[in-house]
Amino acid sequence: MGRKLLLDKAHIEGIRYYDVYRKNGGYAAAEKALKSMSPDQVTEEVKKSGMRGRGGAGFPTGMKWSFLAKPEGVPRYLVCNADESEPGTFKDRYLMEFLPHLLIEGLLISSYALGANTTYIYIRGEYAWIPDILEEAIAEAHKNGFLGKNILGTGFDLEIYVQRGAGAYICGEETALIESLEGKRGLPRIKPPFPAVKGLYQCPTVVNNVETLAAIVPIINIGGDEYVKYGIGKSSGTKLISACGNINKPGVYEIEMNISVEEFIYSDEYCGGIPNGKRLKACIPGGSSVPIVPANLLLTTAKGEKRMMTYESLNDGGFATGTMMGSGGFIVLDEDQCVVRHTLSLARFYHHESCGQCSPCREGTGWMEKVLKNIEHGKGKMSDIDLLWDIQRKIEGNTICPLGDAAAWPVAAAIRHFRDEFEWHVLNPDEAQRRNFGLVHYADPLPVAAAV
């Protein structure tokens, strides 16, 4: 069994409630931090842990905190990003539903470190029942002196509020989230200024993902030096992976970042293999935005090494032969799945979710959807494949926020690795309506295509 830091107590009955959480060592990290550490010492500990933001970008959290501007007399804010909307990702939901106090304890320690006295949890609107769970937990924490005025007699005050969004993927982008929290459309801001300088209400703000903030608790409990001993190298600690698609045991798993992708998919501890004896065709290991990779490149890197569940190993080979850890939304496709159809579904998603601010994304996502629809429905031309490639190239890097890149990468990777499947759709329009292309060479062992 892999070691756990976040979900180690998730099986305890009633852990959702304060009394049980407290009896099982809850709020010990908060006591330790507030009573025996200075805010800067907490930040140092987080830096030492090397923990990388768990929302998707993987930026070191301690470093992000150290960028926070601290002008005199200006309030600072911590905002918890619980907008979780990346297709394939549902890990934060699990934490909030089953371990709300872990998040609140993490928020308390983080707010203390950052000097924030008001903290907002911005949760996606569709998780309509979860604010009740969080607000109940917040009330319990209040009653027991872990929120409110003069917490633990330290003079530190904190209020946590839950704000629901209303259905917009873009609000997971931190500046769009801030706009939404201010009661506006979720249109990302041009950076700089970064939120660390001018964020919520133009005040210095840190926006962190739910899992990131929850992981602060074990970091303080065991110390940054000990945390680094989990995982491999710069992929320190544990990561929640939400596994879905064609696997026997979909769900949320906490992994120590030292296991192989193969083990994650096939071992009974995790995904439990692929149903009905089907073979693995492809996988999107980090949420729908990250590049899809065929089975041969998923299990082994282009260099022939075993691919591991770490930031570095998943990224090995760059976009030519690798992919990304992203948010940990692990989507598995078996041999019956059609890559063209799947890519169309994602292109439709990004078209729907584009905020419309930047024309490359607003128009480009729509074109990609239309062209893919034609190919999928037997009306495609060979030149459409190059047209798709051209459109995605013109979106990537040309937009205010990363949604443009996120929309471009899945299409690019699908063409890069599965071009023959696209061509087959164009050449056999009738047959493509009736059956899938299948596996062909995708699940073959290496050799692997040369880098583009």
Binding-site ranges for another protein (CB under 8 A):
75, 84-90, 93, 118, 120, 124-129, 159, 161, 163-169, 180-186, 201, 242-246, 250-252, 284, 288, 329, 331, 333, 337, 341-342, 345-346, 348-349, 352-353, 355
Least distance between another protein and beta carbon 409 (Å): 14
Q: Which stretch of DSSP H or E encloses residue 97?
A: helix 91-98
Angle between helices 210-222 and 39-49 (to 10 degrees): 100
Least distance between another protein and beta carbon 357 (Å): 11
Least distance between another protein and beta carbon 450 (Å): 29
Nearest residue (CB) to another protein, 45 versus 83: 83
Contact, 335 vs 439, CB < 8 A? yes
37: number of Cβ within 10 Å = 17
Nearest residue (CB) to another protein, 337 versus 374: 337
Nearest residue (CB) to another protein, 223 versus 273: 273
What length does the chain have?
452
Nearest residue (CB) to another protein, 143 versus 185: 185
Q: How many helices (H) and strands (E) would you count in the chain?
A: 19, 12
Give the C-alpha separation, 252 to 241, whole Å: 6
Nearest residue (CB) to another protein, 227 versus 409: 409
Helix (H, G, I), strand (E, B) or coil at 400: coil
Nearest residue (CB) to another protein, 65 versus 127: 127
384: number of Cβ within 10 Å = 18
Least distance between another protein and beta carbon 209 (Å): 14
DSSP 24-84: TTTTHHHHHHHHH--HHHHHHHHHHHTPBPTTTT--BHHHHHHT----TT---EEEEEE--
Show the 3-state SS of 311-338: HHHHHCCHHHHCCCCCCCEEEEEECCCC
Least distance between another protein and beta carbon 292 (Å): 10
Q: What is the Rg, in whole angstroms, of the alpha carbon atoms belonging to the chain?
A: 22
Nearest residue (CB) to another protein, 123 versus 257: 123
Contact, 385 vs 416, CB < 8 A? no
Nearest residue (CB) to another protein, 26 versus 88: 88
Nearest residue (CB) to another protein, 331 versus 448: 331
In the block, which residue shows the tokens 């083990």?
263
Helices (H), 166-310: 174-181, 210-222, 224-227, 261-266, 295-299
Least distance between another protein and beta carbon 88 (Å): 5
Least distance between another protein and beta carbon 164 (Å): 6
Least distance between another protein and beta carbon 97 (Å): 11
Helix (H, G, I), strand (E, B) or coil at 182: coil
Least distance between another protein and beta carbon 27 (Å): 23
Give the C-alpha separation, 29 to 176, whole Å: 32
- Region of 300 (left: φ > 0; alpha: ψ -120 to 50; beta: rest) is beta
Nearest residue (CB) to another protein, 6 versus 219: 6
Least distance between another protein and beta carbon 441 (Å): 21
Least distance between another protein and beta carbon 79 (Å): 12
| Residues 296, 309, 226: CA angle, nearest 5 degrees | 160
Nearest residue (CB) to another protein, 128 versus 382: 128
DSSP 162: E
Least distance between another protein and beta carbon 37 (Å): 29
Nearest residue (CB) to another protein, 85 versus 310: 85
Report CA torsion sign: 225, 218, 121, 286: positive
Helix (H, G, I), strand (E, B) or coil at 92: helix
